[in-house]
Structure 1
Amino acid sequence: MMKKHIILSVLLCLGFTGSLLAQSIVPDTLLFVFKLHGQTRKYEMSFREKQDSICLYWGIERNLKWQSGSYTMGPKSIEQAVQLSFLQPEDGKHVQLSPEETVYFLSRSAYKQLKEQNTLVYNQTTYSVLDSNERALGYPLIHVKDAVEGCEMWILDNPKLSLVWRMRNNPLGINWEISTPELPSL
């Protein structure tokens, strides 16, 4: 009887350890690499649900000092926003975005429009789907482009959090890409 309990305990511990290792494969903190006017900045960002809101916590080391802040999007933002916020992060600022805005991801209604119509209107700009040949975090990336100004986005095909994984040719000059950590080869 005791032998069965020991074996069961060892198996439970191994199972628990295995699930911890599996959880660490998908990072809870993402590295956003921004390019603006020839400069590169790397921000650590994590998205967390808090009650009915989504909070984006950001941080960056600048001038040997850690700077951080957050953006919070309420339920209306998450469900119905129609624009991305390009508000520059400021150390110590905790910003509540307006119901019309999200930051670095699409609202659920915009994602639904993209999936159903192969087009998306955000920031008063219409984007059309080009392809979904790339993947990130196990999801396809939906590549969209604005035919007027040439702005391109690669959007994580995830209905829960459709991150703008990469942005290129942004008329505002703010381009970024999420960098994932290198996984060890087996």
Structure 2
Amino acid sequence: MKKYIILSIVLCLGFTGNLLAQSIVPDTLLFVFKLHGQTRKYEMSFREKQDSLYLYWGIERNLKWQSGSYAMSPESISWGTRLSFLQPEDGKHVKLSPEETVYVLSHSAYKQLKEQHSFVYNRTTYSVQERNEQALGYPLIHVKDAMEGGEMWILDNPKLPLVWRMRENPLGINWEVSIPEPSSL
């Protein structure tokens, strides 16, 4: 029990001071990717800067720290219609097109999801399934593509509708987010 109390305190202290992260995500999240039998664990953090949303990523590979970022413009955050599956490359700082987001839904797609219980992203319609899981104190909205079977679990928060988990992705890129242990950072 003492271990859980300490873990709860550490998680509470791990939240950042900026407005976006204050009520949504800890400073750093661990994205665990699975592709063709391989597993990669990326440390990622979201930051607001000059009306844009940045995703900073890092991974230790071959005893070297690799890092980069993705930038989402105000347009992509508001109206984006596609998830980017661009593979991270060391030292690359990618500005996504106004149609793209990375690991989050746009505000318009999230609004469509909440109002219609379905939404279209990457020209694919996802419909709500059961809702019985939580992450970071928010419900996860489970959606599924009826055509190809792709599934996402989306953090039910309008400020940052994070794709917490992806399964059966037709591209083969699946992931799940977790909160890293304090000793691993």
Please report the TM-score for the alignment, with normalisation by the length of structure 1. Answer: 0.85
Alignment gaps of 5+ in structure 1: 1-18
User: Structure 1 vs Structure 2: percent identity of aligned residues?
Assistant: 79
In structure 2, the partner of 1:86 is 85
- Bigger Rg over Cα: 1
What does 1:3-82 correspond to in 2, within 5 Å? Answer: 22-24=12-14, 27-82=26-81
Distance 1:20 1:145, change over 3 A: closer
Could you say which residue in structure 1 is the equivalent of 2:106?
107
1:9 maps to what in 2? none
Distance (whole Å) between structure 1 residues aligned to residue 48 and residue 41 of structure 2: 23
Aligned residue identity for 1:88 = Q
Structure-2 residue corresponding to 1:168: 167
**How far off its partner does 1:180 sit?**
1.9
Which residue number corresponds to residue 14 of structure 1? Answer: none
Write the distance in 1 (CA, Å) between the matches of 2:11 and 2:166: 31
Q: Deviations over 1:60-98 (max 9, x none)?
A: 000000000000000000000000000000000000000
| Regions of 4+ moved over 4 Å | none
Deviation at 1:21, TM superposition (A): 7.6
The normalised TM-score by structure 2 is 0.86
Question: For 1:176, what is the secondary structure of its paired residue?
Answer: strand
Partners of 2:28 and 2:180 within 8 A in 1: no
CA-based RMSD of the aligned residues comes to: 1.7
The 3 A distance-change label for structure 1 pair 82 and 64 is same
